Amino acid sequence: MYFIREFDPWKNKFCTCPKKYSLNPYTGCDHRCIYCYSTYIPNFYNCRRKKDLFRKIEKDLQKIPEKSIISMSNSSDPYPTIEKKYGDTRRVLEILKRYDMRVLIVTKSDLVTRDADLLSEMRSVVTVTITTLESKKLEPNAPSPEKRFEAMKILNDHDIPTALRLDPVFLYLSKDYKKVIEEGIKAGIKHITSSTYKAKKDNWIRFSKVYPEIAKKTYDLYFKKGTNVGRSYYLPENIRREMMEKIKNVCDNYGISFATCRENLNMNSKSCDGSHLF
Ligand code: SF4
């Protein structure tokens, strides 16, 4: 296989995703989120095109069953700023439609609405990520949360099921989650998935530079009292549970389904990736 790979090749022990495949139309991502988990990929914030992408994807598709779930994307955003110029993601969607695949989009960009016509003709679910309404320091080059809410509305107007990814949430920083959920519900989302920030060596360095006070307050919790899973450092379980329960309670009050991602807290009422919305 060239570009379509089985999801989670590392078999994370906390992952609750159904069987699916992962496809990143670009290498790297230019939204430049400071907490990004994918910056183990060299020169990651320099987003670039993939050579011979379309031909190789067609070859890959011949090797997997029809109606498979293809998740776009797990190590990058399928709508980086350069997508506006190149349109590679749109062309990939056209190919996936021909092969009758189910597509899960995960994005922080309102550019996804450009493809609403196509997505509404395929089996698709779009998950839009919003961490906080004050996202400029966390996600310096991503479209504003307002644009993302607007995108959810447009997608819903096209009858494309949407979910909100409130992820990652940060101890002492993510205080406006209720407002984010309320705005998401107004925009028509059907489900929420959330997850606490997992520190990795490289993202922690970036986070500490931007939020030195919070980093100071949480250092011991992550690196001395927390849990280590692979290359990620988790907050202690009781703190993560409390953070996720607060968000779940808001979702319960509004009657919207809730799941966590890689928390091992046994709190999920629906799929963690929105695939139940197909
Ligand atoms: S949008 Fe996702 S892949 Fe892109 S920089 Fe942000 S966290 Fe990383």
> What is the DSSP-derived secondary structure letter of residue 270?
S
Question: What is the per-residue pLDDT for 10?
Answer: 67
Counting as low any pLDDT under 50, the low residues of the chain are none
Domains of the chain by range and CATH? 4-277 (3.80.30.30)
**pTM score:** 0.96
30 pocket-lining for ligand 1 (C-beta < 6 Å): no
Q: CA–CA separation, 258 vs 274, rounded Å?
A: 10
Atom from ligand 1 closest to the CA of residue 45 = 5
E runs forming strands in 92-133: 102-107, 123-129
Q: Using most ligand atoms within 8 A of CB, pick from 27, 30, 37, 38 the residue to mutate for ligand 1.
A: 38
- 57-60: Cβ within 8 A, 24+ apart: 57/2, 57/3, 57/4, 57/23, 57/92, 57/95, 58/95, 59/2, 60/1, 60/2, 60/3, 60/4
Tens digit of pLDDT for each residue in 105-143? 999 999 999 999 999 999 999 999 999 999 999 999 999
Contact predicate 22/6, CB 8 Å: yes
Which residues make Cβ contacts (< 8 Å) with residue 180, sequence separation at least 6? 130, 132, 133, 145, 164, 166
Contact predicate 178/251, CB 8 Å: no
Distance 253 CA to ligand 1 centre (A): 30
Question: What is the per-residue pLDDT for 14?
Answer: 87
**Which pair of structure tokens corresponds to residue 243?**
């953070």
